[in-house]
Amino acid sequence: MRPVSVEMCQTVETLDHAGDISAETTSEPLTIRASSPILVAQFGGYGEPLPGTGPRSMLVVPPSELFRSWYTLATGHSDFNTFTHYIILVANRSAVDRLQLDGQALDNEDWVEFDASGRDDMVGRAVPVAAGVHVIVQMDGKPFGAYVYGHSDSNCAYSFTAGLCLGPPNNLVSRLVVATHALRRTSL
């Protein structure tokens, strides 16, 4: 494996071996850049960096190249706990004006910049929602990220990515499928 350069919180770190871990604790939104693909996991709750005062939850964060222009999602449900639910949105500032949640335009308030240096136009926002199914659409077809997070007062939490765009132009998936088919053919 070649070393991977990872930049976050305005510092650069090199990961030399597969399985190396880099950790950063922050209550502020941040942008992560890497010289090769990496796995990013976010542990949130207790007000940092996910909203709410509930317990922590782990979220695997996909790269922005896998964002979609619409999502249909459902919040978590429990017959035993009352949950507070959020949809966390990440978008280019130019896409914010035309985002709709359940057919209603989102206001332009409360969006937070991810990169204080100004190199990136990404902004984020947590939107409280009722339990149930929701549809989020960017009316111009611009991709954005959507995550679902919820917590209860009885130490339960959940978080997940609302969806991914794994079709073209994402050639990583194409190469994996081709490699898998080639492996099957050679093993027969």
Residue 178: pLDDT above 50? no
- Of residues 24, 65, 41, 34, the one with CA closest to residue 159: 41
Residue 142 identity: K
- Contact present, 120 and 93 (Cβ < 8 Å): no
Give the separation between CA 75 and CA 88, rounded to whole angstroms: 12
- Contact present, 4 and 15 (Cβ < 8 Å): yes
Residue 181: pLDDT above 50? no
* pLDDT score, position 162: 93
Give the separation between CA 182 and CA 86, rounded to whole angstroms: 43
Answer with the residue of higher pLDDT: 186 or 13.
13
pLDDT in tens, 124-176: 999 999 999 999 999 999 999 999 998 887 778 889 999 988 765 444 444 44
* pLDDT score, position 54: 57
- Contact present, 32 and 97 (Cβ < 8 Å): no
Beta bridge partners of 74: 133
pLDDT in tens, 36-83: 888 888 877 545 444 555 577 888 888 888 899 999 999 988 777 788
pLDDT in tens, 74-116: 998 877 778 889 999 999 999 999 999 999 999 888 898 877 6
Burial string for 20-41 (b: 16+ CB within 10 Å, else e) reads eeeeeeeeebebeebeeeeeee
Give the separation between CA 87 and CA 83, rounded to whole angstroms: 13
* pLDDT score, position 187: 39
